[in-house]
Amino acid sequence: MMDSLEEKWKGLKLLEEERVGTELEEDSSTELIYKEQRTVLEKIYASRLISNEVSMTKVWRIIKAMKFTEVSPNVFAIVFENVADKVRVWEGRPWLFENQVLVLKEFEGYKPLHRVNFDTECFWVRIHNLPISHNLPISCMTKVRDEQIRGTVGKVERVDVQEDGSGWGNFLWAQVLLDLTKPIARGRTLTVRGISFWVPLSYEKFPKICFSCGCMVHGVNGCCGDQGNNEGKEKQYGSWLRAKQIPR
């Protein structure tokens, strides 16, 4: 609604008093700054209107009180009792509510709500079947290689590797910022020393996705997948993209 009003505003002929800018003074009180430091914005992608204060308190296991303020349908400003609680929740992303993705964004007091992009969220992604034998270098399993591969999936936020930068094991592990409106990546084709091979991806805390188009969230144009007769056809997306939970 606000986006359409802003677009309409660009085509208006403003009156003189409407054109003159009004500069607002910043409120830099210590109390307000501390409140902003303890605040996040939350959006739940659900088909119904919900109030999740009680539910998320249980999920996050935070004893101290949080204040939820609904600022738009299914969008909340959450003020934590202290910064430590906020950081713990922030670093625990992604979170799910009724198997739907719950998006958290940093609170920026001087940004209008309709300009906050809720179409991205961080997920822990695993890259499987990387080469450790067959004359292919085990050095593929390093932080640098991990960032190269995951950089094609989304923006790499964190990489879980050993102190020397290696990530030898069953898979490489990293937190990647994904665009929820784009089909989720199922894997990548890699080429090492002239040999090409497929490496599948899996996702922790995997939410509901559309098995037709592979998106977690449909854009304004709806599903972009094949809406025809899919009887007898193999699903291109499925729950097999969900990673088994293991301690990190």
Residue 49 vs residues 10, 43, 62, 76, 245: alpha-carbon distances, Å: 32, 11, 24, 12, 30
pLDDT value at position 50?
74
Say if residue 211 is in the same domain as residue 140. Answer: yes
pLDDT value at position 45?
87
Say if residue 108 is in the same domain as residue 131. Answer: no
pLDDT value at position 172?
77
138-148: per-residue pLDDT in tens? 444 444 454 55
pLDDT value at position 94?
93
Name residue 62's amino acid: I
Say if residue 229 is in the same domain as residue 146. Answer: yes
Residue 58 lies in a domain: yes
**Residue finishing a domain among 79, 114, 149:** 114
Residue 125 lies in a domain: yes
**Residue finishing a domain among 114, 135, 170:** 114
The 3 state secondary structure assigned to 187-218 is EEEEEECCEEEEEEEEECCCCCCCCCCCCCCC
List, for the chain, all residue ranges whose pLDDT scores fall below the cut of 70: 1-7, 9, 24, 26-28, 51-55, 130-152, 159-170, 220, 225-233, 247-248
Cα R_g (the chain), whole angstroms:
22
Percentage above 90 pLDDT, the chain: 32
Residue 44 lies in a domain: yes
What is the domain extent for residue 180? Answer: 120-241
Residue 74 lies in a domain: yes
Name residue 22's amino acid: T
Say if residue 50 is in the same domain as residue 148. Answer: no
pLDDT value at position 184?
92
pLDDT value at position 89?
95
